[in-house]
Amino acid sequence: MSPTASSSVSRRLAWWLLFIALYQGTALAAEPPDSMGQRMQACATCHGKEGRATNSGYFPRIAGKPAGYLYNQLINFRDGRRQNATMAYLLDHMSDQYLMEIANHFASLDLPYPPAQTTKAPAATLARGEQLVRHGDESRGIPACASCHGAAMTGVAPAMPGLLGLPHDYLLGQLGAWRTGMRRASSPDCMGEISRRLSPQDIVAVATWLSSQPVKRGLPVGSLPAQPTMECGSGFR
């Protein structure tokens, strides 16, 4: 082979080696890091990007919820106190420690809320819903939602969830599940007791009013101004 031909082959080989090196470097650089955020992208299928959900449908927002609440729900799904075959399957072999890591990840996300749902409900329905949320119904032993979930309804750390920014259908479904015993919590199950005291019309009113309220900032507060009137097994721990 002549010196000129040999030089040409060498240059081509050098270019190919450079191309391969660059390709491999790009592929490695494009590979996502193994982070909790990356692992939790699967949750976006139902709960929306970064767990922020939308203002419609049936799946709840999980971003920014108190870590204790999220942890309790993951445990409840895994152990059968909440009924959802998909969640139970996903969580079946996860340890308590890893479920706490998941809860802490989503609790740390402070993300904007979607606009509130619009409603054509009668004014009387909205008024009844607001009455129950803010003041309860003492004559029937129904405490105000705000007495446990906070005056702004954004939840209370470490384990009481906010009720704003949730879809109407989800709220209806959960209150109905509490009422029928399909959803349960650690004893004493205060939400089960309260939901059984609500009439079907009350449940509609509460869900309608809550889902129609805008959320400026949804972070849970650190404490309540007064002790709740009912004891709850999992809401404050």
C-alpha–C-alpha distance, residues 220 and 160, integer Å: 8
Q: Rounded to 5 degrees, what are φ and ψ at 64?
A: 85, 0
C-alpha–C-alpha distance, residues 210 and 206, integer Å: 6
Give tens-digit pLDDT for 134-174.
999 999 999 999 999 999 999 999 999 999 999 999 999 99
CB 78 within 8 A of CB 176: no
Tell me how crowded residue 8 is: count the other CB atoms within 10 A of its CB. 12
Angle at 175 between CA 168 and CA 105, to 5 degrees: 75
DSSP state letters, 4-18:
HHHHHHHHHHHHHHH
Give tens-digit pLDDT for 29-63.
556 678 888 889 889 889 999 998 888 888 999 99
**123-134 vs 200-211: helix crossing angle, rounded to 10:** 90
Residues contacting 87, CB < 8 A, separation 6+: 77, 78
| Sequence spans of domains, the chain | 3-31, 38-211
Q: Which of 73, 68, 76 is nearest to 160 (CA)?
A: 68
Tell me how crowded residue 191 is: count the other CB atoms within 10 A of its CB. 22
CATH class of the domain at 38-211: mainly alpha
Whole-number pLDDT of residue 160: 93
Q: Which residues pair with 182 in a beta bridge?
A: none
Whole-number pLDDT of residue 58: 87
